[in-house]
Chain A
Amino acid sequence: MVLVKAGGQRTLVLAEPSRDPAVLLADLSAAEPSVRRAAARDLAPHPEAAMALCDRLEVEASPSVRAVLLTSLIHLQSPTVAMRLASLLRSDDVPLRNAAIEALQEMPDAVAPHLRDLLADEDSDVRIFAVNILGALRHGQAPQWLTDVVRSDPHINVCAAAVDGLAEIGGPETLIDLEALRRRYEGNPFMEFAIDAAMRRIRGH
């Protein structure tokens, strides 16, 4: 018989019920990724560690450690954490900024206070990322904010991203603004197509 029963012969590693936060904070910069992951995970119940997790995220190179840092930051979400993550939208590190967007989508109340600033950022790509966050945010105001973007943002790609979000979460009250946007971009095949598609979805037929 080649099947061997597992439990009996494996050395059981007993999990420490709670490890000293000071040790965990030091472990965040350990050489071994598995040690950094364990520290990042075990700091999730410690709000006072949130900024240390943000600091580590900015320099962490290992994708798996990054993932765990972000999961813990979702647990520790606060307007301050959201602000630190929002600053990563400007990062040149493409995977990092996309991971930050995903984490921000999980913290509606924490990110809400910053959305106005992000939507007014002078960099159109940052505004697009803000719109992307809104499109997947469980927040009752999200459709209204997207409508505001459609009304006032001067950049075609920011508006296109907002149309995309409205196609998913917009209600009939946004139709009038979409019609206005369609007039604004009359003759642009992509915008006409996207707006028509969004309006069809919102009308539900």
Chain B
Amino acid sequence: MARSRESEMNGAPPHILVVDDGITMRMFYRSVLEAAGFMVEEATNGMEGYEKVLAQPFDLMIVDINMPKMDGYSMIRTIRNDPAVRMIPAVVVSTEAAAKDSARALEAGANFYLVKPVAPEDLTEVVRMIVGVAA
């Protein structure tokens, strides 16, 4: 799972984009991930998420499925089709029944699938594994 991280070059902490239309969800991600030493940027739907990905480099994105304007699957698919940013790993987080939709998430290009509500330790563990930093 080792990857070359965008932030590794300049020694900055890994940069995580969280994309969710729920405000408390975004606050939760921020709180957990900042406590674990990551830098967090937020977007409120998939299209805004894609714009942020175009604007600055990220080491990982955490993406909700059901969002206005652009849903999570469409966002990840769009990013996987854009040569400039296609490599960013993606974790999908959703409420939907895991079996059916994890297949769908992987098909869209997600690397991992988490089911809400997410436990803080699961979140940090998955994020650490993907961006390749030790606890």
A residues in contact (CB < 8 Å) with B: 94-95, 97-98, 101-102, 124-125, 128-129, 132, 156-157, 160-161, 163-164, 167-168, 188-191, 193-194, 197-198
Contact = CB atoms under 8 A, between A and B. Distances in A.
B94 to A, nearest CB: 9
Contact of B25 (A95, A124, A194): A194
Interface string B96-120: 1000000000000000000011111
Interface string B57-88: 00000000111111101100000000000000
7 contacts: A95-B71, A98-B66, A98-B71, A124-B95, A160-B22, A164-B25, A197-B27
B97 to A, nearest CB: 9
Contacts of A160: 22, 24-25, 116-117
Contacts of A157: 95, 116-117
Given A102-B68, A197-B24, A191 B117 contact: yes
B23 interface: yes
Interface residues of B, number: 24
Among A94, A124, A189, A194, chain B packs the most CB atoms within 10 A around the CB of A94
Contacts of A132: 21, 66
Nearest to A188: B117
Given A132-B66, A161-B22, A194-B25, 18 more contacts: A94-B73, A101-B66, A124-B95, A128-B95, A157-B116, A157-B117, A160-B116, A167-B23, A167-B24, A189-B120, A190-B28, A190-B117, A190-B119, A190-B120, A191-B117, A193-B24, A194-B24, A198-B24
A199 B24 CA distance: 11
Contact of A156 (B27, B70, B73, B117): B117
B67 A98 contact: yes
A76 B73 CA distance: 30
Chain B residues touching A, majority SS: loop
B31 interface: yes
Contacts of A163: 24
Contacts of A167: 23-24
B28 A194 contact: yes
A193 B28 contact: yes
Contacts of B31: 193
A101 B68 contact: yes
Nearest to A192: B28
A81 B96 CA distance: 26
Given A98-B66, A129-B66, A157-B117, A193 B27 contact: yes
A162 B68 CA distance: 17
A127 B125 CA distance: 30
A164 B74 contact: no
A198 to B, nearest CB: 6
B122 to A, nearest CB: 10
Contacts of A168: 23
Contacts of A128: 66, 95
